[in-house]
Each structure stands twice: as structure tokens, then as C-alpha cells.
Amino acid sequence: MKVGAGLANSRDYPRVSVVIPVYNGSATIGGTIECLLKQTLAPREIIVVDDGSTDDTVEVLQRFGDRLNIMRQPNGGPSSARNRGLREATGEFVALTDSDCLPEPKWLSSLIESFDSPRVAGVGGTIKGVDENLISVYVDAIQLLDPGRDAQGEVQYLVTANACFRRDAVIAAGLFDERFRKPGAEDTELGRRLHDLGYQLKAAPTAVVLHHHKQTLKIFLKTICNYGEGAYLLGTIRPEYKWKGDIRKGLIASVLGAHLLRGKSRKPGTKPGWSKYVAFSALDYLMSIAFSWGYLRGQRKARKSCPARRVGIINGR
């Protein structure tokens, strides 16, 4: 089925489900739901999968009554929670966002209108920081949460805080790999499988979601460490993504400051002043250490759980 511009305003627009995984998100999930209820393209259903929260998340969700489909499960990680929602969704398309996100009113319509070919399996939008603190500005400047592109500019994966998929394509690809129990690389791995099936992924810059980026340096670096751990698992599943070279030497080089002031890719037009440049460079440095440490942590965990290094053949793969 071809989806084109203007379809979101017609009576025959496709059915769209929204799936939100949440774990201890009581402070922000209410704002997320409010934004979804104000979409210019009303979703067919809003599915919230509570992944074993221990705070007041469920109480917050229950205030919205039957406007939500609330599912609960023991904690299994965001991939598991998203898969639960994807399996239960009744829409032809399933949009994904997170419990700390604020989708703008035209978010869903902008995503759906970008499905201009049956070969397009997924579309991802723009994620911007809600706050103006240093870490939030830095995350936006290095485009950390933008759709992943290759050297030719082709979209290779979508960030799950702002993405929409054809449900049948994701089901055919096998859903998210639930071995990824933390955020980090599960979206890359799914994107690779969709490409293997002959599908394409696209970016829709006008589909905007505001995101509460990590507020403290400690939490931010913990997140980057989790990304490193996910990167190791990704390399065991897809050898083409395996880290080239000695990761330990890379970590030592980072600690010694070899990467300081190396400069990450910045968003075009971003020209930080001297003080911000120094701060960004320091964050580059700390990110490199945290990512390398996470990669080594993933390696160590894999050796403990799979002495024979059979991580890549779990679940029959």
C-alpha cells in the first residue's frame, strides 16, 4: 500500500498504533500520553507496556482510563517490552516513542506521510532536547539520537524514541532481539535485518519528538556505557559490526587523553564558543572512555555466561 502526502487528513488513512515501553517513568510518562492525545493524526490505539516498574507508573497511567491499553510484564528490558506491544498492536503501522518523550502534534502524520513506497519498512524523525543544559545541547550537537546513516547518507537504523514501522515488515524480520536487555544497538541490529529482507528506512526531519536528555553527567555516562555493552553484543551477532583492533588499547588511549579535542561530528551550523568547545571536547573524552568500558563489560559478561563464546548462537541464530 502506498502512503502519500495528505493521506493523514483523509478518511482512509492507515491504522496506526503507538507503543511505549516504560520502566519507572512516573515523572514523565503523563506528559508523553498528553502529547499523543493531541496528535493531528489520532492513533488507533496507545499501548503502554509497563516493564516491571516499581514506582507509581501504573497509577499515573490509570488516570487516562480506557484511552490507553496498559500491559504489564516482569522486567525484561525495552526490546522485550516493545515486542510485546508490537505483537498486540492492531494497526498496519506501529509508531514507537519512549516514556521521557514529548511528540509534537504533527509527529504521527509526518511519519506516516513519508511511507511513499511499499519498500519503506520504517521512518524515523528528529529528536531534540527539551532542556538547555550542557549535556542536552551536546547530545543534539553530535546528533547522537538521529537516524543512523552510512557513508552514502542512506538510513541504516532508526532510533526507537522516534520511529514508525510497517508492522508486518517488523514481524517478518523477527522483531527486536531480546538479548539486548538495555538500550544500545538493538535498533541497529533490527535495521540490518530489515535491509537484509530488501526493505528501506527513511528519515522524516519534520516528525519531531522532544526528549528529556540525561540530566546529570553520571547518568549520561552510564547510558553511553550501556551503548558500549550493546555494541559488543551486536558484534557477536553481526560480525561486520565487531570492533576492529584492540579495545583495551583504545580504552588506555582514551584515559591518557589521546582522543581529547579530537572533535566529534557536529550538526551542520553548530559553532560552539571557546568555553563550550572545551566542555564538548571533555564530554567527547569521557564518552570515549565510557563506551570503551561498556564494550569491555559486555565482553566480560559474555565470557562469564558463555565460556565457549557461543553468544551469537543463542535462540538458534
Least confident of 138-142, 159-163, 193-197: 138-142
Arithmetic mean of pLDDT, 152-173: 97
CB count in 10 Å sphere of residue 45: 18
Check residues 214 and 131 and name the one with the higher pLDDT: 131
Burial of 156 (C-beta count, 10 Å sphere; 0-12/13-18/19+): middle
CB 67 within 8 A of CB 44: no
Give the span between the Cα atoms of 155 and 122, in whole angstroms.
Answer: 10
Task: HSE, CB side, 13 Å, CA atoms: give it for residue 39.
Answer: 27
CB 81 within 8 A of CB 21: yes
Average pLDDT, the chain: 87
Calculate the CA 137 to chain-centre distance.
18
Secondary structure of residue 28 in the 3-state scheme: coil
In the chain, the percentage of residues whose pLDDT exceeds 70 is 83
Give the span between the Cα atoms of 304 and 122, in whole angstroms.
Answer: 36
Q: Per-residue pLDDT tens for 50-98?
A: 999 999 999 999 999 999 999 999 999 999 999 999 999 999 999 999 9
Q: Does domain 7-211 fall into CATH 3.30.390.30?
A: no
pLDDT band at 107 (very low <50, low <70, confident <90, very high): very high
> What is the pLDDT, as a whole number, of residue 253?
56
pLDDT for 13 beyond 90: no
CB 38 within 8 A of CB 105: yes
Q: Could you give the C-alpha distances from 60 to 88, 99, 203, 271, 312, in angstroms and in order?
A: 22, 12, 32, 41, 39
Calculate the CA 296 to chain-centre distance.
22
Give the span between the Cα atoms of 250 and 309, in whole angstroms.
Answer: 22
Residue type, 281: S
Residues of the chain with CATH 3.90.550.10: 7-211
Q: Per-residue pLDDT tens for 230-273?
A: 999 999 999 988 877 666 655 555 555 544 334 445 555 556 67
* Beta strand ranges found along 130-278 (DSSP E): 148-149, 155-157, 162-166, 200-211
Residues ≥6 apart with Cβ < 8 Å to 100: 25, 28, 29, 32, 211, 212
* Beta strand ranges found along 161-239 (DSSP E): 162-166, 200-211
CB 143 within 8 A of CB 197: no
Secondary structure of residue 222 in the 3-state scheme: helix
Residues ≥6 apart with Cβ < 8 Å to 241: 185, 188, 231, 234, 235
> What is the pLDDT, as a whole number, of residue 270?
57
Which residue do the cell numbers 510518562 mark? 29
Check residues 297 and 314 and name the one with the higher pLDDT: 297
Give the span between the Cα atoms of 179 and 191, in whole angstroms.
Answer: 16
Least confident of 147-156, 187-196, 302-311: 302-311
